[in-house]
Amino acid sequence: MKEPKKKKTKTQDRYRWVYDAIISKFYDGSMKIGLSIIGEQKLRKAVISLISPYVKHNDSILDLCCGTGTLTTTLVDSVYSDCEIVGVDLSEGQIFQAVKKKYLPNLEFKIMDASNLNFASESFNIVLISAALHEMDKSLRFRVLQEAHRVLRKKGYLFIFEHHEPSEPKLRIFYNFYLGFWEKILSHSSEMQRNIFNELKDVKFNPIDQIILDKKIFKFFQLIISRK
């Protein structure tokens, strides 16, 4: 018997509407402007350079909450051509923008709920979640991490690219002025940063590394590596 689909939360409904109707049309441009002080392309390439050594020939890779697919398409250019890469997002508008960026036979974008994935268990060697968990409340984060764990193969890797509030006083002040201020009002970023390691362990992931990007303002971001 097929399992009943899980109901979407208000957070998910709000996300989909806002991104479909508004944000998807301006997302890429706003990222370029918002991250211009950091260097958007340099930041993405720095993240990919940390992930790509873990990728093997013929790996299947899932980019959860891929947005407009900018990081997904950057990843395609940095891994073996025999890897299969799928980007999924709840927002039809975001996926519409993503599919316009690049066509390759090993790259596919799908509209899908990250907390209720339409993939068989143990389908992927690698799962990537980029700058999405901070937008979710604890309950939704837990369900998304559960799904990431379910679709990963044994000994597969989960990469979480997310915000990081630096400990250095000057950078901490700048973080809260530049990035953290709005995120603390509009998202669950602080809570996510405090609890993410316990949440990973709760769904049976084994966190193996936390990499704080090391170039000045890049320290506003982190990559957490976990294994199933």
For a pLDDT cut of 70, what percent of the chain falls above it?
Answer: 77
Q: Band of the pLDDT at 3, cuts 50, 70, 90?
A: very low
Rounded CA gap, 206 and 200, in Å?
7
Q: Which amino acid is at 147?
A: E
- Residue 190 makes CB contacts below 8 A (sequence gap 6+) with 165, 180, 183, 184
Q: Band of the pLDDT at 172, cuts 50, 70, 90?
A: confident
The most confident of the ranges 10-14, 15-19, 157-161, 185-189 is 157-161
Q: For 174-194, what is the mean pLDDT?
A: 75
CATH code that applies to domain 10-227: 3.40.50.150
DSSP notation for 175-194: HIIIIIHHHHHHS-HHHHHH
Question: Which residues are bridge partners to 108 per DSSP?
Answer: 86
Rounded CA gap, 191 and 103, in Å?
37
- Residue 72 makes CB contacts below 8 A (sequence gap 6+) with 63, 66, 85, 87, 98, 107, 109
Kindly report, residue by residue over 104-157, the tens digit of the pLDDT. Answer: 889 999 999 999 999 999 999 999 999 899 989 999 999 999 999 999 999 999
Kindly report, residue by residue over 78-93, the tens digit of the pLDDT. Answer: 999 999 999 999 988 8
Evaluate if residue 182 carries a pLDDT over 90. no
Rounded CA gap, 77 and 42, in Å?
14
Evaluate if residue 224 carries a pLDDT over 60. yes
